């Protein structure tokens, strides 16, 4: 196995599957199957999931809502998604813990770094909800921050596309995919990997990022086994 401890970043939009909003049970079940496979291989797995399928603070702010209020609503959306994924994983026999950056004692633990690491060491999947707990920070930044805190070997960013392209492949048919790219190249070519705060955190801490297609069953397992899946960003 190539990586012992990973942080898997999932987008909220990906959970919609074929729906217009909300959670597609088939999609979340497929994700849970793929995650269970690598847990059974002995991987230590932490997860951060977005909330864009339910609510986006930035879009709410554009519509006239207070940005801070909108961002907190977005954080609560990530907790809903985290609970759905937790339920899907536990249905398949995977032991999990949900930790939130905003205290919600009835449904999850508060985020405590040492406790999170202990859960990982015991083979539990740890899901981090509510982003960083602060407005103006994305779940990408939360993923980078938590990955560094738990000393993950890599961030695996599961998306709908199979890597980083020279342009948006959904809009530009001539776009080509990178197998490997450096942090510097991403800056220079203005490639869209994750938001700049999150990306800079990874660069400063020499934490590699792999962008890959999470919607293809088996991709996560192949990646953990060392296959060239998606695009690797490293120093």
Percentage of the chain modeled with pLDDT above 90: 88
Per-residue model confidence as pLDDT tens digits over 129-163: 999 999 999 999 999 999 999 999 999 999 988 99
Write down the pLDDT at residue 173.
Answer: 87
Q: Give CA–CA dist 164/231, Å, rounded.
A: 6
| Side-chain half-sphere CA neighbours of 115 within 13 A | 12
Write down the pLDDT at residue 108.
Answer: 97
User: What is the token pair recorded at 4?
Assistant: 């012992």
Q: How many helices (H) and strands (E) does the chain have?
A: 8, 9
Q: For 21-50, give the secondary structure using H, E and C.
A: CCCCHHHHHHHHHHHHHHHHCCCEEEEEEC
3-state class of 233 per DSSP?
A: strand
pTM score of the predicted model: 0.95
Residue 110 forms beta bridges with which residues?
Answer: 100
Q: Give CA–CA dist 222/14, Å, rounded.
A: 20
Please tell me which residue, 60 or 234, carries the higher pLDDT value: 234
- Torsion angle, alpha carbons of 90, 227, 144, 109, to 10: 10
* E strands, 61-208, in order: 96-100, 109-110, 125-129, 154-159, 180-182
Using CB atoms within 10 Å of the CB of residue 115, give its burial: 0 to 12 exposed, 13 to 18 middle, 19+ buried: middle
Write down the pLDDT at residue 88.
Answer: 97
Q: Give CA–CA dist 22/14, Å, rounded.
A: 10
Q: Which fold has domain 5-234?
A: Carbamate kinase (3.40.1160)
Per-residue model confidence as pLDDT tens digits over 98-123: 999 999 999 999 999 999 999 999 99
DSSP output for 189-201: HT--SS-HHHHHH
Write down the pLDDT at residue 208.
Answer: 98
Tell how strand 154-159 and strand 209-213 pair up.
parallel
- The owner of tokens 């879009």 is 59
Contact 155, 143 (CB under 8 A): yes
Per-residue model confidence as pLDDT tens digits over 15-74: 998 888 899 999 999 999 999 999 999 999 999 999 999 998 778 888 899 999 999 999
């Amino acid at each position: 196995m190539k990586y012992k401890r990973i942080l898997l970043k999932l987008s909220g939009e990906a959970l919609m599957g074929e729906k217009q909003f909300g959670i597609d049970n088939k999609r979340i079940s497929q994700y849970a199957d793929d995650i269970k496979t690598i847990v059974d291989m002995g991987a230590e797995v932490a997860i951060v999931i977005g909330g864009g399928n339910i609510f986006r603070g930035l879009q709410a702010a554009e519509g006239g809502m207070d940005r801070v209020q909108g961002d907190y609503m977005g954080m609560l959306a990530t907790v809903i998604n985290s609970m759905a994924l937790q339920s899907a994983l536990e249905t398949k026999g995977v032991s999990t813990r949900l930790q939130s950056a905003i205290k919600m004692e009835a449904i999850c633990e508060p985020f405590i770094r040492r406790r999170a690491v202990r859960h990982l060491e015991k083979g539990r999947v740890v899901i981090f909800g509510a982003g960083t707990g602060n407005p103006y920070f994305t779940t990408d930044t939360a993923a980078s921050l938590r990955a560094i805190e738990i000393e993950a070997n890599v961030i695996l960013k599961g998306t709908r596309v199979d890597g980083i392209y020279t342009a948006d492949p959904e809009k530009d048919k001539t776009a080509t995919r990178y197998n490997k790219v450096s942090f510097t190249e991403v800056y220079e070519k203005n490639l869209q990997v994750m938001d700049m705060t999150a990306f800079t955190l990874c660069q400063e801490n020499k934490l590699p990022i792999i962008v890959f297609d999470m919607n293809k069953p088996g991709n996560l397992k192949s990646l953990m086994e060392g296959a060239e899946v998606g695009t690797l960003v490293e120093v």
